[in-house]
Amino acid sequence: MFISLAVALLAPVAVAQTSVIEDVIDGHVLSGFTELSDAAQALSETAQTTCDPNSEALREAWGVAFDAWLGVAHLRFGPSETDDRAFALAFWPDTRGKRPKALTRMILQSDPSVYDSAMFAEQSIAVRGFYAMEYMLFDDPMFELGGDAYRCALIRAQADDIAITSAAILYDWTNHYAALMRAPDNDSYRTQAEVMQQFYKAVQTGLQVAADARLGRPLGSFEHPRPKRAESWRSERSLHNLVVTIHATEDLALRLAAGNVDIAQAMGTGYARVVDLAETLDDPVFAGVADPQKRLRVEVVQSAINSLRDTLAEKLAPALGVSTGFNALDGD
């Protein structure tokens, strides 16, 4: 009798978790990676049409694909981690300045790998992905290196590589990894609780990267601000990237809170505050970190993100039955 009662009480919970997991996989994960794959393919096709770094069409296609990546960048597990695909798409931060050195060397040596996608995929992640392509499209000194024909081939190789990598991630999610999360009882996920833990960690990871890297790196210290460490400052996307990633984690967080109006409302308020504060900065590349008054406004945004993380830990985590005792950026 007691066993039957326990099963009856747990059944609605299992059904609710199944519904949430299905919605997250279909509405957030698969749709996000499909958008990325489609946008990356469009970028590749545009690069075949024009490889002029000043081409508005090429820069726009790169930006659309980059936005699509930022929409799923927090999902750093499973297919994204296979063969270091996430790093191949987005190697940042480049703390040792490898990217300009690697690109310069490749151009000056006219490395032939740009003419073969399989060979290019074996190249350093410093010359691959969205950030490397940003150098080729927005860094003026790069325009002067080597010959036009080789730089064109490099841009096309980068675009093709982004498309191939994005398609591979989507393929693995669609044909293998999604099933592991839909029906946990396997080597990757033993229970639905572990699936929920993975998704919750993804939200926290995205927010921690936003606070500690996207804002923390240009903030530096009060005595030594580092505006040139801002993400994508060459393309003037630093603030834009921040807002896109915040919205992306919001979509996942709200899906996880499905059915819990109070928690969704509390998180929605926190997310709205972060976005409002960020958008009122009117500072596309966080150059204001070097000015004491403007710096304070950036710090307020960072503080609001950290407060939002606390809200998630206090309200969403207990509702999902997941642990908060981890660093979102470590390997646990």
The Cα-based distances of 111 to 52, 65, 121, 309 in angstroms read 20, 26, 13, 45
Q: How far apart are CA 331 and CA 328, in angstroms?
A: 8
On whether residue 21 sits in a domain, the answer given is no
Task: Judge if 232 and 325 occupy the same domain.
Answer: yes
Contact 43, 165 (CB under 8 A): no
- What confidence score (pLDDT) does residue 16 get? 82
Provide the 10 A C-beta neighbour count for residue 192.
22
Task: Judge if 201 and 320 occupy the same domain.
Answer: yes
Q: How far apart are CA 198 and CA 178, in angstroms?
A: 13
Counting residues of the chain whose pLDDT is more than 90, the rounded percentage is 92
Provide the 10 A C-beta neighbour count for residue 198.
18
Res. 24: pLDDT tops 90: yes
- What confidence score (pLDDT) does residue 8 get? 38
Task: Judge if 38 and 160 occupy the same domain.
Answer: yes
On whether residue 5 sits in a domain, the answer given is no
Res. 5: pLDDT tops 90: no
- What confidence score (pLDDT) does residue 4 get? 44
Q: Indicate the pLDDT class of residue 9, thresholds 50, 70 and 90.
A: very low
- What confidence score (pLDDT) does residue 324 get? 77
Res. 331: pLDDT tops 70: no
Contact 21, 180 (CB under 8 A): no
- Mean pLDDT, the chain, rounded, equals 94
On whether residue 296 sits in a domain, the answer given is yes
Res. 164: pLDDT tops 80: yes
Q: What is the dihedral of CA 83, 47, 130, 174, to 10 degrees?
A: -40
Task: Judge if 219 and 299 occupy the same domain.
Answer: yes
Q: Indicate the pLDDT class of residue 329, thresholds 50, 70 and 90.
A: low
Task: Judge if 222 and 246 occupy the same domain.
Answer: yes
The residue from 188, 203, 238 where one domain ends is 188
Q: Indicate the pLDDT class of residue 106, thresholds 50, 70 and 90.
A: very high
On whether residue 25 sits in a domain, the answer given is no
Q: What is the mean pLDDT of residues 116-130?
A: 98
Task: Judge if 129 and 259 occupy the same domain.
Answer: no
Question: CB under 8 Å to 34, separation ≥6 — which residues?
Answer: 170
Task: Judge if 261 and 159 occupy the same domain.
Answer: no
- What confidence score (pLDDT) does residue 254 get? 98
Res. 328: pLDDT tops 80: no
In the chain, the largest separation of any two C-alpha atoms, in whole Å, equals 80
Supply the CATH number for residue 103's domain.
1.20.1420.20
Q: What is the mean pLDDT of residues 221-225?
A: 96
On whether residue 316 sits in a domain, the answer given is yes
The residue from 170, 188, 206 where one domain ends is 188
Res. 199: pLDDT tops 60: yes
Q: How far apart are CA 71 and CA 203, in angstroms?
A: 12
What DSSP letter does each residue of 138-204 carry, written as one string?
Answer: H-HHHHTSS-HHHHHHHHHHHHHHHHHHHHHHHHHIIIIIHHHHHS--SSS-SSHHHHHHHHHHHHH
Res. 10: pLDDT tops 80: no
On whether residue 43 sits in a domain, the answer given is yes
Q: How far apart are CA 152 and CA 50, in angstroms?
A: 9
- What confidence score (pLDDT) does residue 330 get? 54
Q: Indicate the pLDDT class of residue 14, thresholds 50, 70 and 90.
A: low
Contact 72, 170 (CB under 8 A): no
Res. 312: pLDDT tops 60: yes
What number of CA atoms fall less than 13 Å from residue 6's CA on the CB side?
3
Total number of domains constituting the chain: 2
What DSSP letter does each residue of 30-94 carry, written as one string?
Answer: IHHHHHHHHHHHHHHHHHHH---TT-HHHHHHHHHHHHHHHTTTT--SGGGTGGGHHHHH-----
- What confidence score (pLDDT) does residue 127 get? 98
Q: Indicate the pLDDT class of residue 15, thresholds 50, 70 and 90.
A: low
Task: Judge if 199 and 184 occupy the same domain.
Answer: no
Residue 106: what residue type? M
Res. 88: pLDDT tops 70: yes
Res. 198: pLDDT tops 70: yes
Contact 53, 136 (CB under 8 A): yes
Task: Judge if 117 and 59 occupy the same domain.
Answer: yes
DSSP class of residue 281 equals T
On whether residue 272 sits in a domain, the answer given is yes
Cα radius of gyration (the chain): 21
Supply the CATH number for residue 306's domain.
1.20.120
The residue from 172, 188, 204 where one domain ends is 188
On whether residue 27 sits in a domain, the answer given is no
Task: Judge if 196 and 297 occupy the same domain.
Answer: yes
For tokens 């693995």, name the residue.
172
- What confidence score (pLDDT) does residue 259 get? 83
Res. 295: pLDDT tops 50: yes
Q: Which domain holds residue 49?
A: 32-188
Task: Judge if 151 and 170 occupy the same domain.
Answer: yes
Task: Judge if 36 and 49 occupy the same domain.
Answer: yes
